[in-house]
Amino acid sequence: MMTAELDTIAQKMVADGKGILAADESSSTIKKRFDAIGVASTEDNRRDYRELLFRSSEAMKKYISGVILFDETIRQKAKDGTPLVTLIAEAGAIPGIKVDAGAKPLPFCPGETITEGLDGLAGRLKEYYDLGARFAKWRAVIDIGAGIPSYTAIRTNAHALARYAALCQEAKIVPIVEPEVLMDGDHDIARCYEVTEFVLKETFQELYYQRIRLEGMVLKPNMIVPGKKSAKKASVEEVAEKTVRLLKSCVPSVVPGIAFLSGGQSDEEATAHLDAMVKLGGLPWKLTYSYGRALQAAPQKAWSGKAENVAAAQAAFTHRARMNSLAALGQWSAAEEKKAA
């Protein structure tokens, strides 16, 4: 393990005013996104869409530190034959790769899942490193509902995350550790806090057992928000205060940065919450974004599969990336959002 190299890459991933573009949608997920805009999910269309993002020069150079890719994408070439990973690297961003095999039902735990993909991972990581990846992502999914999550689900997923992280660091790849507590239910913000605290403390315990170098990783957690179906809403200030308070109690200060997932929030909600957290100040780690839909919904709609819309899609992507960059610096405002739109 080359600790200096891992640490340097992790620091670059959370550089001031930059965040991570999650462009690692599985084939089934991107099909749903394309269906919504009336575009067939063919290999060429997926390539063309991602190429327009990676060729968004202003966004990629100023606001994006790294890009999480899907297995198909890391092997693809642009229309002119340039590997997509080369486009990312030439923009100054770091190519990364999603390596988990998705969430599958957890035996004897109805309604809960375990993320698979550890089998053969060491060999795949070596191949991905040779293809240009310098960081990886593994997502664990924890749902909140009647009688769940169970300790079995939390412990099993935390262990898998830690095993994945160890294999990554051994392969000279920085792991993004993503334990996501879903916001799909009707639970209130207090329940989200309680479950996320359990999940994060268990995750860092397992990372310790697996001898993970915390300076060479990035955490990708959910924010502390009420479920989508909850009757009790939360203000931006409450989300920020509760999220930061929880992270301070769970995340060691040597972790270089926390790159939040948007988790189903609207574009502007995800931006406003990040900005409010950064404005609280006094944080031991960098806070930034690792958004998928919250960065891509606008450019996907603008593009709609038409070549003549590429410039408009790139402008939409640049706008959302800039807004989140301002948030990561604590400089965003609703007025700025409206002025720049």
pLDDT tens digits, 49-66: 999 999 999 999 999 999
Mean pLDDT computed over every residue of the chain: 96
Asked if the model's pLDDT at residue 336 lies above 90, the reply is: no
Burial degree of 139 (CB within 10 A; 0-12, 13-18, 19+): buried
The Cβ of residue 122 has, within 10 Å, a number of other Cβ atoms equal to 13
Average pLDDT over residues 43-49: 96
pLDDT digits (tens, 9 = 90+) for 299-311: 999 999 999 999 9
pLDDT band for position 1 (50/70/90)? Answer: low
Q: What is the distance between the alpha carbons of residues 328 and 90, in angstroms, rounded to a whole number? A: 23
Q: Which residue is associated with the tokens 């944080």?
A: 283
**In this structure, what are the phi and psi dihedrals at residue 118, rounded to the nearest 5 degrees?**
-75, -30
pLDDT digits (tens, 9 = 90+) for 131-154: 999 999 999 999 999 999 999 999
pLDDT band for position 15 (50/70/90)? Answer: very high
- pTM comes to 0.96
Angle at CA of residue 20, ends 137 and 158, nearest 5°? 30
Cβ contact 158:143 at 8 Å: no
Task: Taking the CA atoms of 318, 324, 327 and 329 in sequence, report the sign of the dihedral they define.
Answer: negative
Q: The tokens of 264 are what?
A: 């189903």
Q: What is the distance between the alpha carbons of residues 283 and 174, in angstroms, rounded to a whole number? A: 22
Q: Which of 112, 178, 180, 337 is catalytic?
A: 178
3-state DSSP of 71-140: HHHHCCECCCCCEHHHHHHHCCCEEEEECCCCEEECCCCCCCEEECCCCCHHHHHHHHHHHCCCEEEEEE
Q: The tokens of 257 are what?
A: 């940065």
Asked if the model's pLDDT at residue 99 lies above 60, the reply is: yes
Domain range list for the chain? 3-340
Cβ contact 201:221 at 8 Å: no
Cβ contact 74:84 at 8 Å: yes
Beta bridge partners of 21: 67, 291
Cβ contact 231:185 at 8 Å: no
The Cβ of residue 104 has, within 10 Å, a number of other Cβ atoms equal to 11
Classify 247 as helix, strand or coil.
Answer: helix
pLDDT band for position 340 (50/70/90)? Answer: low
Please report, rounded to a whole number, the percentage of residues in the chain having pLDDT higher than 70.
99
pLDDT digits (tens, 9 = 90+) for 252-295: 999 999 999 998 899 999 999 999 999 999 999 999 999 999 99
pLDDT digits (tens, 9 = 90+) for 185-200: 999 999 999 999 999 9
Please report, rounded to a whole number, the percentage of residues in the chain having pLDDT higher than 90.
96
**Among candidates 336, 256, 328, 304, which has minimal Cα distance to 63?**
328
Q: Which of 12, 220, 242, 286 is catalytic?
A: 220
Average pLDDT over residues 1-27: 94
Q: Say whether the peptide bond before residue 149 is cis (omega within 30 degrees of 0).
A: yes
Q: What is the distance between the alpha carbons of residues 71 and 48, in angstroms, rounded to a whole number? A: 16
pLDDT band for position 337 (50/70/90)? Answer: confident
Rg over alpha carbons for the chain, rounded to the nearest Å, is 19
Q: The tokens of 127 are what?
A: 């191949």
Q: What is the distance between the alpha carbons of residues 310 and 52, in angstroms, rounded to a whole number? A: 7
Asked about 178 being catalytic, the answer comes back as: yes
Q: Which residue is associated with the tokens 């507590």?
A: 181
The Cβ of residue 92 has, within 10 Å, a number of other Cβ atoms equal to 14
Asked about 116 being catalytic, the answer comes back as: no
Q: What is the CATH number of domain 3-340?
A: 3.20.20.70
Q: Which residue is associated with the tokens 């301002």?
A: 326
Looking at residue 128, its pLDDT comes to 98
